Amino acid sequence: MSAAPNLRPFPTTTLLMSTIRYLLGSLLLLTLLEIFLHIYSLRVTRPTHALDPPFASSCLIPPESPLSHDHDIAPHDAALPRENATILMLARNSDVNGAVTAIRSLEERFNRWFHYPVVFLNDQEWSEEFREKVGQEASGEAVFARIPVEMWGWPVDGEGREWVDREKVKEAMAKLSTMGVPYVENENYHHMCRFYSGYVFGGLGLLCNIIVHDMQANVGDCSFFQDHPALKPYKYYWRLEPDVSYTCDIPYDPFKHMRLNNKTYGYSIALWEIGSTAPSLFRTVTSYKSSHAIPTTPLWTSMLDPSWAPLPLRWGLMSDARLFHSRTATGDAWSLCHFWSNFEISSLDFFRSASYRAYFAALDATAGFYYERWGDAPVHSLAAALFLAPAQLHWFEDLGYRHPPFQHCPRDGLGCACACDRREDAVPETCLRQLRRGVDP
């Protein structure tokens, strides 16, 4: 038998296979390099020193405070003129016991020294029981005001007709309810989120709502409601919810320190939003950011989880809002981290600004507060990320705060006369650390 022929590939075949391997290797290397550069482009540069230290350490006002002081505790600040500020609670008559609990706690830990006024808002008339029981707990003036009908309820057009599709809302609520989204079938909860997102701060006028909805003009052409009469005199507010409690003494005036330290927005807790409550919110905000050429801030970048997918997948697939919600047009994801707004101390001028009003008008025109369950917390947080520098925000790390089922308890060595356990109902600090990358070294 003759030997089998020694079959060898033709030189051209060997060259072709080598070329293919080279090209595939180069493509893989370039892909990995592009992914690395993309992720690197979304890094947040850490500052060399802390840009947002606590306003107080223990029960003493710190030496670097812009206030003149002699290391005294709260009554020293209390001797200074009060800021143009108020405490604000949105409640119902049925919340009387929870409101008493919250006011009593805040008085014990803070307001018994400072006597700031408290504004109570309700979409219904206040009962005498609420006025009497809650009013007697406040050491400052208690103002009981009603929310105007045009600020609460379904949006209407110039002829008083609702323009939100109620059937679409009903279907959306039913779908979200089956997904376990909390409060989604509570109509007033939607109204409350919309109210706290914009109207409470001097919401858009009826004409503005119509124009923006019909896309006939920009918000600069709109007329605005005056601020709510009960809030109009003030420049700062402290949001207070029924049933919350404060677990540490507050040995200074937060409003004064916000002003003196050029702080615009203050928070206590940061956590994740439930993604199914607002699948289109982030894309709506990113589209607004792009169309208005709003520069990217470090806080905005801190909100993002960079995509590890190669560019073609990011731009062609992962940017498709029908398939991937809460992503930018280039495929990067919102981490869903936001500041929990049931506690916030903030400048009212920020929410009354033309930039915030235009932002809120654009969101309101989509009816996302009803077709989905957009919350005021992510709406406020994303606005802060759009318009504020990281150092303009303040974490009240030294302030003990409990809002069931969560609480913030200061770390050891911080806070004044605290009565809380950091191990109980603690919120993981993942979001907090992510959102503070622009202020923590």
DSSP code per residue over 184-246: TT-HHHHHHHHHHHTGGGTPBPHHHHHHHHHTSS-GGG--BPPPPTTTTT-SEEEE--TT-EE
* Angstrom distance (rounded) from CA 189 to CA 182: 10
- pLDDT for 10 equals 58
pLDDT tens digit string along 282-304? 999 999 999 999 999 999 999 99
User: How far is it, in rounded angstroms, from Cα 353 to Cα 165?
Assistant: 30
**50 neighbors 441 (Cβ within 8 angstroms):** yes
pLDDT band at 329 (very low <50, low <70, confident <90, very high): confident
pLDDT tens-digit readout, 105-119: 999 999 998 999 999
Asked if residue 22 has pLDDT above 50, the reply is yes
Where does the pLDDT of residue 93 fall: very low under 50, low under 70, confident under 90, or very high at 90 and above?
Answer: very high
pLDDT band of 328, cuts 50, 70, 90: confident
Position 119 scores a pLDDT of 96
pLDDT value for 238: 97
Q: How many CB atoms lie within 10 A of CB 178?
A: 9
More confident residue, 97 or 67: 97
pLDDT of residue 314: 82
User: Pairing mode, if any, of strands 393-395 and 265-267?
Assistant: parallel
Of residues 53 and 329, more confidently modeled: 53
Average pLDDT in the chain: 86
Which residue(s) pair with 441 in the sheet? none
Q: What is the pLDDT of residues 413-434, one digit of tens each?
A: 899 889 998 878 889 999 999 9
Q: Does residue 312 register a pLDDT over 70?
A: yes
Query: pLDDT tens-digit profile of 32-86?
Result: 998 899 899 899 999 999 999 999 877 765 555 554 444 444 455 667 889 999 9
Q: Which residue has the higher pLDDT, 389 or 227?
A: 389
**% of residues, the chain, pLDDT over 70:** 86
Hey, which residues are catalytic here?
344
Percent over 90 (pLDDT), the chain: 62
Is the pLDDT at 354 greater than 70, yes or no? Answer: yes
Q: Is the model's pLDDT at 369 over the cut of 90?
A: yes
